Structure formats: C-alpha cells, structure tokens
Amino acid sequence: MEYNNADNGLSERNLDQQVQHELLAKSIRRKSKIMLFFHGNAEDLGIAYKVLNSMKMHLKITILAVEYSGYGLFAGQKSAESVLDDSLMVYDYLTHDLGVAPKDVILFGRSIGSSPSCYIAKERPDVGCMILMSPFKSLRDVAKDRVGKLLSYLLADRYRNIDLIEHAKCPVLIIHGMSDSLIDVSHSFTLKAHCGSKVCKLITPDDMDHNNFKFQEDLIIPFKQFFKENKIRLHHVEPQTKQLEMPKELFKVPKSIKEYNLKVNKIQLK
C-alpha cells in the first residue's frame, strides 16, 4: 500500500460529507480504545483517510484524526508550537470534555506526527500507549542527513523527539522501514535508546520505505502483537469511557469549504 496514494481522489477540499464524518472513524464495537492519529508533513486528513478507514476495520477501534493549523482546511500559520498546542488541546478535549479515560487512548504518529505524539506522551504520561511510524530525532537532524551539518544549522531546531521521548512512560512501539530514504532508520534506533518507557519495541521491515508499506505485515500484525504483549485489550475500556460521540456542531461544513466549492463551481461554469 502506498500512503500518499494519488489515485484515491481524496483531499480535504473534496471530501464529501460522508468522508468528513468518517474522519471520526467509529468502531463497529460498542466500546473500544480510541486511537488519536497525527499525520505526516506533506499530507492532510483526506490523504490519510484510506489508511485510517482500513485500520478501523481491521482493529475494530475508533480513530480520531487530528489536523494541524495551516494544514489542509485548517486556517492559520504553520508552526511547531501551534501543531503541538493544537494536538494537546484535542487530547485534553477527548479526555476531559468527552470523558475518555487516558488509559484508553492510543497515540499514533507518522513522520512529523511523531512529534505531537511524543509531546502528549511527555505532558500526559498516563496515556495508554504510543505508536510511532517513521519518526525522527529532530527536524535539524533530518536536515543534517540530507544537506550536511553546516547547512542544517540554518533550520530552527524544532520537533525534538529525542528530548520528548525521554519522558514517555507508556508502552511504545516504533515502526521504521529499513528502505526509508527520507528519514533514515537510524533515527528510530536512537529514539529507542533514549525512550523513557520500560517498554519500547522497534520493528524495522526490510522493504518498507517512507510512503510504501505492506498494510498487514508492516502495520496490523505488529500492532496486534504489541497490544497482546502489553495486555492492551482493545475492546475492554474503563467504565467512564463510552463510544465516542462528538457534538453535532463540530461536523458543520467550515466556511472555507463552502467558499472553495463556490469558487470551483464558478470556474467550471465558465
């Protein structure tokens, strides 16, 4: 499966109402753990939809995908601070306002999404567990691999997972392809060595790269094995955790989508 699948025809701007609702991908089970998903840099929730929907069906859990300020249809400036703050705000809304027990939350961050996951694991150490896919030590370290040490210092040293993961207390699973040419697998070996959790498992599939992977072999099977090893029962939740119900007003079509659709319609009529 290719993560950035150009043929899926999806982006946040052309998601129909059904798909928009499915970005809160609810489990078919009455009760389940909640996976909080954080996507990579050159992506939005539309691109992530196909993978998340498949994951919901295979794991039979509810998945809530988070968008960042300045990405997709989320108006605002892109910044490391806003990404981390927004992500922590969603987690707090999930646990405080909607009543989901922290133990019933699974953090899943891919690529740059590994940073908000690690940040939440640091700030809210009672979270259930954390899964990182193709993570990095810091953005500067990624730049150093690609352009050299000297030029890398022109980039602000943001998203320092190497520092954040030291504070993780929950079980951690890291999956990183040996064939990843964008973020070298050495980043994950270093993150594992610095992880503060007593449980930090690293899996490195040989043929997996940054965007291409075998859905079952590289993700679903390792996920299930990790859950089993750590006695994480996906359909046994704390009494306070109910099936996730988001307030209806959160599903109103944003003004930006309406304006975009009007603009597209006018162009097509010309």
Render pLDDT for 85-141 as a digit per residue (tens, 0 to 9): 989 999 999 999 899 999 999 999 999 999 999 999 999 999 999 999 999 999 889
- Reply yes or no on whether the pLDDT at 63 is more than 80: yes
CB 31 within 8 Å of CB 58: no
DSSP state of 36: E
Range 232-237 average pLDDT: 94
DSSP state of 212: B
Comparison of pLDDT for 46 and 176, the residue scoring more: 176
Domains and CATH numbers, the chain: 6-269 (3.40.50.1820)
| Count of residues making up the chain | 270
Q: Any idea of the CA torsion for 209, 213, 218, 223, to the nearest 10 degrees?
A: 100
Please, what is the average pLDDT of the chain? 83
What percent of the chain has a predicted confidence (pLDDT) above 90?
56
pLDDT digits (tens, 9 = 90+) for 133-168: 999 999 889 988 765 554 444 456 788 999 999 999
Confidence class for position 7, pLDDT limits 50, 70, 90: very low
Task: Specify the DSSP element, H or E, that contains 261.
Answer: helix 255-269
Percent of the chain with pLDDT over 70: 76
Would you state the pLDDT for residue 158?
A: 80
Summarised one tens digit per residue, pLDDT across range 15-59 is: 444 333 336 777 766 689 999 999 988 777 777 888 898 999 999
> pLDDT at position 205, please?
97
Question: CA distances (Å), 77 to each of 36, 81, 117, in order?
Answer: 22, 10, 20
